[in-house]
Amino acid sequence: MSRRPRDRGFTLIEVLISVFLLSVLSTFAYATLNYVRRSREVTSVAFERMRSIELAVHTLTSDFQQLEPRPVRDLLGESVVPAILADQRTTNLVTLTRGGWPNPAGLPRGTLQRVNYRLDNGILIREYQTVLDATLANAPFKRELLKDVVKISIRYLDSSHVWQEQWPPLAAGPTGPTLPLRMRPVAVEIVIELKDAGKLTRLVEVPS
């Protein structure tokens, strides 16, 4: 009479080897998942940064492309400010009047908008007034367009195809130098230097 073989189970060594292999595979799987997660976070941050850069450049370009020759009164109402004003002696980069201001709410206002750009602690800020001839009582609305900005320089091409560092350029009048109020440049060169992306240059043609 033959004897039935006993059911053979796992030995301790086999169990230890299985646990070891499972731990190694788990470690590789966790490392892979962690790498994918970190790569996704880095990609998301880079995408948001690129989107903010594109939005800032697009906003600047759109404002210059819709320049309007509309001077405004100063905040005190004592003098007239040119339609576009860029003076390196001030903290503002450029102040201008633009058209095409959308009005989806149908508010009782015009389509012209007074816009000001300035650089504050590495942040490009866009300000606008709800009225063209604003007073001290009209506080501007502010919007942060771009962070980590090292420097922004803007040049203006006049009708003689000469680049100007400020606008408007002084013109000789019958009583001496005068400041043209409605003059617009032919083109504008915008150079933005960023901490993480280097220099970006954009040339914008201004409609006459």
**Nearest partner of 163 among 188, 200, 192, 199, judged by Cα:** 188
Per residue, the 3-state secondary structure of 7-57, as one string, reads: CCCCCHHHHHHHHHHHHHHHHHHHHHHHHHHHHHHHHHHHHHHHHHHHHHH
- Structure-token match 């709410």, residue found: 105
Chain segment 185-203, per-residue pLDDT in tens: 999 999 999 999 899 999 9
pLDDT at 172 over 60: no
pLDDT at 175 over 60: no
Chain segment 91-120, per-residue pLDDT in tens: 899 999 999 888 888 777 788 999 999 999
pLDDT at 177 over 60: no
Please work out, in degrees rounded to the nearest 5, the angle formed at the alpha carbon of residue 193 by the alpha carbons of 190 and 196. Answer: 140
Chain segment 49-95, per-residue pLDDT in tens: 999 999 999 999 999 999 999 999 998 888 999 999 998 888 899 99
* Dist CA 81 CA 155 (whole Å): 19
Hey, what CATH topology would domain 60-205 get?
Pili subunits (3.10.610)
